[in-house]
Amino acid sequence: MIGEILGNRYEIEEKIGEGGMSIVYKARCNKLNRYVAVKVLKKEMSDNEDIVNKFKREATAIAALSDNNIVNILDVGSQDDINYIVMEYVKGKTLKELIKQFGKLNYETAITIAIQIAKALECAHKNNIIHRDVKPQNILVTEEGLIKVTDFGIAKSTSSATLTNTTTIMGSAHYFSPEQAKGTLVDNRTDLYSLGVVLYEMVTGKVPFEADSPVTIALKHIQEEVVPPKQINSKIPESLNKLIIKAMEKDPGMRYQNARDIINDLQKIKEDPNAVIDNVVENEENEHTIIMGSVNAPDNTKSVNKALEDEYYEDDEDDEYYDDDYYDEDDDDEEYDGKKKKKKSYKNLIIGVAVVVGLLLLGVGAFAISGGFSAAKTVKVPDLKGMTLEEAKKAIEDAGLEYVDAGTEKSDEEEGTVIKFDPEAGKEVKKGSEVRVITSAGVTKIKMPNLVEETETDAKATLDKLNLKNYKIEYNFSDDIEKGKVISTNPVKDEEITEDTAITIVVSEGKKTNYQPMPDLIGKGRDEAIRELAKLNLDGSVVGEVEVTDEKLVGKIAWTSHAYGTSVAEGTKIQLKVGKLQEEKVFVDSFIKAGMKALDAKKALEDAGFTNVVINGDKNGVVIGWNPTDKITKSTKVIITSGKAEEPLPPTDPEE
């Protein structure tokens, strides 16, 4: 792959990471001249359509998310048999590495980091995306200290998550929510529980629950009360202690109900560590689209094991990072020597969960024997997909089940028809059990607004106002549209779209700058030089003279502001200077002597060609000195210092 160019723009430079399903390379985007990370699906996986779709799910999940704290998906594509995702290239460390490095973080730093993680989750949740694997290995800290949440590889939309099979194991055991550990249905509060675990680890340096196997850890999430973090690190304020415990409540209804609430409380503690954190949670049940199904024992252990094994292998394979610095060490999973031990570990996990299911069955049996309830007749759930609300209600009641309206969701399906229901079709349930039904709210179609020649900021604001979140920005040169304004959009204006339509906005980077090599102009005439520069779209002008010793350069170009051969942008102003012969330098004392009359000395210098001679002192006196004394040109100013001539002494009488 090294040296290969994908999509006619991404030039692969080096391998920086590898996971079970894909390999990640550092690449240069030749179009925008910047580094990107390219995740390439392994060739042995490319023939499996399900795996290809799973691989692209990560891009689909977060491409629409526009948040500074989420690693951006820039592009997704296929070339021949290569499937790839292009991501923002981030340099730095994982939060896990920082915790390892420092043991634990001071609570102020932990709060700052947690706020940024929560903002990323808030963005995802608003777009109906649940991360489901929030952990320090998936949180990147850039060299500038910015937090980036990555690896939405097992993320699901809230609509998908609500119908997750009860045997599914997702995420990483140390950061499981209790509902993940039980294999029941999850919503955005699952991510907030995991954020609470991450906060716990940041301020204590350890995860809240430790054990020898993922199954045991999962059971602890369900059954054991967490040791308050303040008992481990007494330096954290009580307000933060309460916040973490509230985020990690076993019952989702007792936790923070949305990311904004936890952000607000973190901000309060950041401003005042003694802030009061309310442990009472207001009932916001209607904000969470959850279809709660009854817990049914599997028909046989073999089918349970198979389902668990499939899910465990599938999700583990996709848990990877795209940078050597961000390689997922998976500290919360055991390390194994060879395939045999790894397989044995998964087998132990399956057996462990089977034991838990068995215990549950024993408990149910004991309760029945004691007279708690008697065996009930079971019926199969009818297939309701595509039925109208009335048809579904009748089919449910005819089967001896209870119809429950679980609301509506936006969908491409016809408005008012059933798109989801729980339990699933064909499942045997007790007569009288509830069947929760979600119907399609349809989609609202609007016309694509005209964004051409709008600024990038205004274009984004227009789309946000229309709740059109699934857009991406690309940049290109334009001779007609000024920098920072929209060149084009796809779809084009007035085309019918929905809120989920993928929109591409192309923003101008201004005119493309062309470069020319600076020509050799030394020795050429001024007009010839200016004409030659004009042919190269360079703006030449003569700005003065420069002294030369070579008479051939007198009156010719002898100096240029840009050196010959250098690369110069078209339109650049090029300064030129013509040569003039350098003057001869002489000593003043070659023409005058001390003791001669000052006026005679001045005249002698002027006769010799000196143009600026002045007398300092008595003009009728004699020369007693001059300045300068070094070699000078005849245009240099010469100052003659004069004084009175000393009178000769009278002769002495020899006889005296």
Q: How far apart are CA 548 and CA 579, in angstroms?
A: 6
One of 44, 49, 143, 144 is an active-site residue; which one? Answer: 143
Bridge partners, 496 (sequence order): 447
- In a 10 Å sphere around its CB, with 0-12 CB exposed, 13-18 middle and 19+ buried, how is residue 221 labelled? buried
**Rounded (10°) CA dihedral 128, 133, 135, 139:** -60
460 is in an annotated binding site: no
Q: Any idea of the CA torsion for 53, 57, 60, 65, to the nearest 10 degrees?
A: 180
Residue 234 CA: distances (Å) to CA of 107, 208, 241, 269? 11, 16, 10, 16
In angstroms, what CA-CA distances link 618 with 598, 601, 606, 642? Answer: 8, 13, 19, 6
Give the closest residue to 313 by CA, choosing from 340, 352, 342, 285.
342
Q: 422 with 293: CB under 8 angstroms? A: yes
Q: Is 143 a catalytic residue?
A: yes
- What contacts 24+ positions apart, CB below 8 Å, involve 216-225? 216/352, 217/173, 217/174, 217/176, 217/332, 218/169, 218/173, 218/176, 218/180, 218/181, 219/181, 219/356, 221/176, 221/177, 221/178, 221/181, 221/250, 222/178, 222/181, 222/182, 222/250
- 25, 12 contact by CB (below 8 A): yes
**Burial environment of residue 11 by CB neighbours within 10 A (0 to 12, 13 to 18, 19 or more):** middle
Residue 442: partners with Cβ closer than 8 Å, 6 or more residues away? 410, 411, 413, 414, 415, 416
Q: Tokens standing for 643?
A: 């004084």
Q: What would the two tokens of residue 198 be?
A: 């991450």
Within 10 angstroms of residue 8's Cβ, the number of other Cβ atoms is 9
Nearest to 402 by CA among 383, 381, 418: 381
How many Cα atoms sit within 13 Å of 596 on the Cβ side? 14
Annotated binding-site residues read: 39
Tell me which residues are annotated as active site: 143
Can you say which residues are annotated as belonging to the binding site for ATP? 39
